[in-house]
């Protein structure tokens, strides 16, 4: 795994080559609003290290993935989500992963995933 992929849109966002509406950033993680939201609040959390998908995760990534998971409640509270949220990580082609850089969708607001 390399630190960055020059052809990856998320690596370009991390590098500042493509703008994003950032929610959070530290040395290992970036969180930003999804450009095509499925919910009133829809953010993406990505590791700054280029990891293709969950299928490529090793024990070496456990700490950053754990930090991503534990960061979510704080971010959603800051964004005004108070009645629950959904976290989704799509993996690979059959898992409907569209960008080949591991990312977690976090969606909240009034029943954004309801089919009605």
**What pLDDT score was predicted for residue 26?**
98
The pTM (predicted TM-score) of the whole model is: 0.91
Q: Which two tokens stand for residue 108?
A: 């909240």
| Residues whose CB falls within 8 Å of the CB of residue 40, separated by 6 or more in sequence, listed in order | 108, 109, 110, 112
**What pLDDT score was predicted for residue 96?**
96
Q: What's the DSSP call for residue 100? A: S
Assigned fold of 9-108:
HIT family, subunit A (3.30.428)
Which of the residues 42, 50, 101, 103 is marked catalytic?
103
**What pLDDT score was predicted for residue 110?**
75
What residues in the chain have per-residue pLDDT under 70? 1-2, 111-116
**What pLDDT score was predicted for residue 1?**
42
Active site residue 103: yes
């Amino acid at each position: 795994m390399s630190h960055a992929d020059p052809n990856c849109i998320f690596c370009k966002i991390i590098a500042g080559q493509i703008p994003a509406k950032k929610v959070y950033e530290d040395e290992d993680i970036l969180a930003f609003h999804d450009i095509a939201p499925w919910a009133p609040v829809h953010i993406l959390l990505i590791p700054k290290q280029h990891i293709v998908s969950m299928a490529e995760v090793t024990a070496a990534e456990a700490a950053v993935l754990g930090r991503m998971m534990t960061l979510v409640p704080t971010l959603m509270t800051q964004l005004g989500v108070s009645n629950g949220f959904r976290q989704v990580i799509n993996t690979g082609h059959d898992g409907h992963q569209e960008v080949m850089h591991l990312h977690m969708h976090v969606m909240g607001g009034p029943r954004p995933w309801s089919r009605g």
